[in-house]
Structure 1
Amino acid sequence: MTSILSSRRSAEHGFTPVRRSAEHGFTPVRRSAEHGFTPVRRSAEHGFTLVELLVALFIFALLASAGVAILAFSVRAQAAASDRLTEIAGLGRVGAIVSADMAQVIPRSTRNREGDPLPAFDGLAVSNGEPFLSFVRTGWTNAEGAARASLQRVEYQFVDGRLERVPFAMLDGAEPITRSVLLDDVDRLSVRYRIDNDWMDTWQPTRAEGLPRAMELTIRRRDGVEYRQLFLVGTGY
């Protein structure tokens, strides 16, 4: 009977654990939902924390810095490649012009403005502001049909870091016409001439119409790049 009374008393006073839990909201899931403990709902209601914003800004700054660095590197690489291509094109143009001149050299002596005789081919050591190469070449194009010969006297000079080509309107006693700069930013320029089986720094012909077999041109740019090329003389092509 005591047991029956205890059960009734428990039922009367709500001591049943399951019912009490349900009545007073002790169920973990329901309590979590009622008081907003679910992480997803809390994040949606309250937004990002300061730490999360700082981390996001830091990552964005890293990505922006990397993008700027890559862009700057690309610009520098493009500029360097453009400069190198321009330099290669300039050297190629010099080689083509000198090669055409040397191939068209003919053994024809001339006279200067004072009437002194000049050899057909005069090759000296390079000196700033002075002609180091003088010759007569054929194949001077006459597109306008002017009253002149197809022969032309040409000089090469090294002036203040520039390689210049100086043509003359007439073979004997004429003033030079407009000179052209073949290459600039030249630090050093040297030439050698092939005489029989030897290379010489100057060409000293035994007769006025004598020609060397070949010429070697060495150009050192101010950036340290050195260019050397051999040219056959008087081959006619």
Structure 2
Amino acid sequence: MNPQRGFTLLEMLLALAIFALLSLAGYQLLQGSLRAQQQSQQHTQQLSALNRLFAILEQDLKHALILPNAVIQQQPAFVAQQQATLLQFTRRNWLNPQGDARAALQQVRWDFSQQTLSRQRLDDGLTLTFPAIQHVNLRFYSTGRWQDRWTSQFSLPQAIEMTLTTAHWGEITRVLIVGNGR
């Protein structure tokens, strides 16, 4: 009688079960790494948007200036408040890489409403929005002290502290230097 060669049914089922468990573990590992990559991309995009917001605001404030004719005409040259319109002012050094016919000065307004911070150019209405911001608080530095309100519409503070509250990142505070118009 010839001895049987090969695997028994029980050995085959055991090998198949081990292979299935290894495949399942590999699939779970792949799914976990894909989920982590997606979350990482989402966090990177959110952080990039916040960095972009602060970079634009920093450039705006760095180039803020008070126009002499605004003071003469008694029109507010720098508006800062804790309401829907947070900041409104004129800035210089508006980049013009294509040499378009336009002024070198630009009026900008920063608004906060419905959990969205937005920057609007008042000359052409172009608006940039930064959503998912729950709260914005401003403080103003001038003459050696911080103030919760800026009452002078015809002078600039030396710095502005902006505190943003977001659902994802919590509270973020940045201190931004305000230009002197020179």
Q: What TM-score comes out, normalization by structure 2 length?
A: 0.88
Aligned residues of 2:66 and 2:181 also touching (Cα < 8 A): no
1:28 counterpart residue number: none
Tell me the secondary structure at the aligned position of residue 64 of structure 2.
Answer: coil
RMSD: 2.2
2:179 counterpart residue number: 234
User: Do residues 196 (structure 1) and 143 (structure 2) align?
Assistant: yes
Which amino acid counterpart does residue 144 of structure 2 have in structure 1?
N
Q: As a proportion of its length, which structure holds more helix?
A: 1
C-alpha displacement of 1:117: 3.9
Residues paired across the two proteins, number: 179
Tell me the secondary structure at the aligned position of residue 93 of structure 2.
Answer: coil
Q: What TM-score comes out, normalization by structure 1 length?
A: 0.69
1:186 counterpart residue number: 133
Q: Which moved more, 1:194-203 or 1:150-159?
A: 194-203
User: Do residues 223 (structure 1) and 168 (structure 2) align?
Assistant: yes
User: Do residues 214 (structure 1) and 171 (structure 2) align?
Assistant: no
Q: Which moved more, 1:68-77 or 1:133-142?
A: 133-142
Gaps of 5+ in 2: none
Q: Higher relative contact order at CA 8 Å, sep ≥6: structure 1 or structure 2? A: 2
Gaps of 5+ in 1: 1-34, 37-41, 170-175
Aligned residues of 2:60 and 2:91 also touching (Cα < 8 A): yes
Query: What is the alpha-carbon distance in structure 2 between the residues aligned to residue 76 and residue 155 of structure 1?
Result: 39
- Which portions of structure 1, spanning 4 or more consecutive aligned residues, are displaced by more than 4 angstroms? none
Q: As a proportion of its length, which structure holds more strand?
A: 2
Aligned residues of 1:108 and 1:119 also touching (Cα < 8 A): no
Matched residues, percent identical? 31
1:161 counterpart residue number: 115
Looking at CA atoms only, which structure, 1 or 2, has the larger radius of gyration?
A: 1
